[in-house]
Structure 1
């Protein structure tokens, strides 16, 4: 696992932002830059897309989307398979999505599809504020920020989903979902939905929802592996029983890690650490 040194961070400053505390912006910025350097090298030779977009944008793997803004779409970035034999992966960094619009009950800012399985999605410095209608029901307001159907993996670093008010902020059917410095805020229905057993990682992340109900929904709590490090859930360092919902089972086995899993080889190498 790579380790990047941020010489501009005083030791005292690092000590001030300890376990399960809000991290200093300079530290997050250092790790964001390291992640984007990794992605730039990993996607060398892939098509690069930048710019401002209104409406749906079709993305074919492999592609790097950077320095982009999107608005006014039912489906924003729609991820599909590219040419046979090419890597099934897409990366986004320095992205803003806002003011989404849908003519029916479905919508998502970033979406993979069942007919195009096995895509790995990388996110770094991504801001999503879709401004969907408030959640009512699946029959009328089945809107997400990120919908990953039949995906291989989600690797998200420095992602903000703000003023979340619809169904799932992240609805992931990926085999593994790894979140670092992800912040989800707002009164939406279920901030995080995880359909596969994992393992899934939540590191230095925060989920804040005004109501004391579901923050994380799991398809199968008997098999799910949820590993958490230095994260906050409505301000608490551990999830309570009323903050986790299960379709199968009663409560998952949650491992609260004492060591940063980015430094133990457990997580994807896109996640560097600065010190």
Structure 2
């Protein structure tokens, strides 16, 4: 198990067999927030298996039974986990943290593609990665804290929300400092960064490149076209690319940054660590491209 989520356990045992209350989250940010807010007084589990994408994962019957048995089920909302619209989840024990933030949702174009064993799926309707705008993430943490206070008051330290919000605000300030004036054009390897761009002064154009793969000739031609259209000088990867991929993009004159979208746990550190490193990497790329 990754060191970043030592306290956030993958689902392994029935909720009713545990001594502590069990919280099941549909994405890593929600699991991280729940862990911070409960301070170890609850067992927080990530419903999605390691290495799978929450936006395309489909739970089996046994998965749904375990999720239904949790003391609290935490969903991101904004269409991230579409299986939740078909599963019979206990409404009294389910909280959708983005509910009430609909006015801030970003509409998206339809992009259909595949992710290995997850099969084909589409990014359409609403951008899902709301937590990449840390102001929205903070509002989601507040919604979660309220739900925890009702459902598991004994597992919610009084000062945990204040500390978490302070940490998120500090990072938000770092993000606000990235761009001083007009939005800066950036090209991303995958459609994940709508909220990041809107929050921190980036005009993001998304491609549909598979994480960890080297772009082929047709993809590089498309990238050159997008560069000409947008004037972008920065390329944003969702994961560290192979050397050949980095070299191919560098040959086009693009500065590069890696910013994990964080729907799943980062390879190193926790949510704050990965977000901070992503902002630092992005700042370096923006400076290099000037």
Q: Tell me the TM-score normalised to structure 2 length.
A: 0.28
Judging by fraction of residues, say which structure has more helix.
Answer: 2
Q: Tell me the TM-score normalised to structure 1 length.
A: 0.29
Judging by fraction of residues, say which structure has more strand.
Answer: 1
Structure possessing the higher radius of gyration over alpha carbons = 2
